[in-house]
Amino acid sequence: MFKAILLEESDGKVAARLTELDDDRLPEGDVTVAVDYSTLNYKDGMVLNGIGRLVRTYPHVPGIDFAGTVADSSHPDYKAGDPVVLTGWRVGEMHWGGHAEKARVKGDWLVPLPEGLTAKRAMAIGTAGFTAMLAVMALEDHGLDPAKGEVLVTGAAGGVGSVAVAILHKLGYQVAASTGRPETHDYLTGLGATTLIERSEIAEPSGRPLDRERWQACIDSVGGKTLACVLPQIAYGGSVAAVGLAGGNTLETTVLPFLLRGVNLLGIDSVMCPLPRRKTAWARLVRDLPMDKLDGMINEAKLSDLLTLGGEILKGQVRGRVVVDTHA
């Protein structure tokens, strides 16, 4: 038997509960993992609350990330005792996930836990931090340069934003952090933000096709009107890495920033990211994410806490990274 958060649907409504399941309930897969830690991302909040039809089949165990140790394997690359981490591949959506003490998945979806990284810190990173690193890498591929000016991070106090601020600061960039929560200002400056931007300042487009060039680049987790506001403010040749939709998935803008300033809009997908780039991103996280800053982002939780936290993250009430000890 193993503990798990189980989602069940009745009359179109999804309910979550903490329960115990027998091992024979685990889905198909060639690697069984004893999960030590999981985490909570915005997408997990959607799944826990039955939003967005991300899950099509119930009952279901959520959790798009987990880290632990291989318990049993028929995959050639993994054996019992190997430390591993998983993010993406629609685990926790189409396939049972990591909000449990055990998970069974395809070995091709796993990444060996990088040397120098604990399972707990891997889940402090999770999909949010992994996505932040992919965004930084994409911006670097398009000319990001510490000498070219500030980099804006929207939704900066959230999971993606927090890790992005810390990484960019470590790499020598001036970071402008946008948030609508004044109580997080000290937290963000502690991560390395050099400028704090009130969320309302970039919440609505000006109506002009081009505005004053303010940022060399942006990592945007908000989308919607915020992204439409930021695009005309990106400097010539700059880029925006779009990583989220907390503010909506509709983008109403003009093509002029792209045509007259050569601005790049870069879509960041962490779910189906190929294995070689995954390994590169995890190696970069070990190198470029200050572990003391990461530790300062951690909010520890147990499985039962997810029943409440799943709603709070959707309301923007979760700061930093939630790390779930599955055995607590």
Residues 151 and 183 in one domain: yes
pTM for the full predicted model: 0.94
Cβ(89)–Cβ(272) under 8 Å?
yes
Q: How confident is the model at residue 179 (pLDDT cuts 50, 70, 90)?
A: very high
Residues 152 and 263 in one domain: yes
Residues 307 and 248 in one domain: no
Residues 135 and 236 in one domain: yes
CA dihedral 35, 40, 44, 49 (to 10 degrees): 110
Q: How confident is the model at residue 249 (pLDDT cuts 50, 70, 90)?
A: very high
Does residue 24 sit within a domain? Answer: yes
Q: Which two tokens stand for residue 113?
A: 């836990």
Residues 258 and 307 in one domain: no
Report pLDDT digits (tens) over 275-321.
999 999 999 999 999 999 999 999 999 999 999 999 999 998 998 99
CATH number, residue 199: 3.40.50.720
The whole domain housing 193 covers 125-267
Q: Which two tokens stand for residue 23?
A: 């091992």
Report pLDDT digits (tens) over 114-146.
999 999 999 999 999 999 999 999 999 999 999
Beta strands in 110-254 (DSSP E): 111-112, 151-153, 175-179, 195-198, 215-220, 234-242
CATH number, residue 10: 3.90.180.10
Residues 134 and 102 in one domain: no
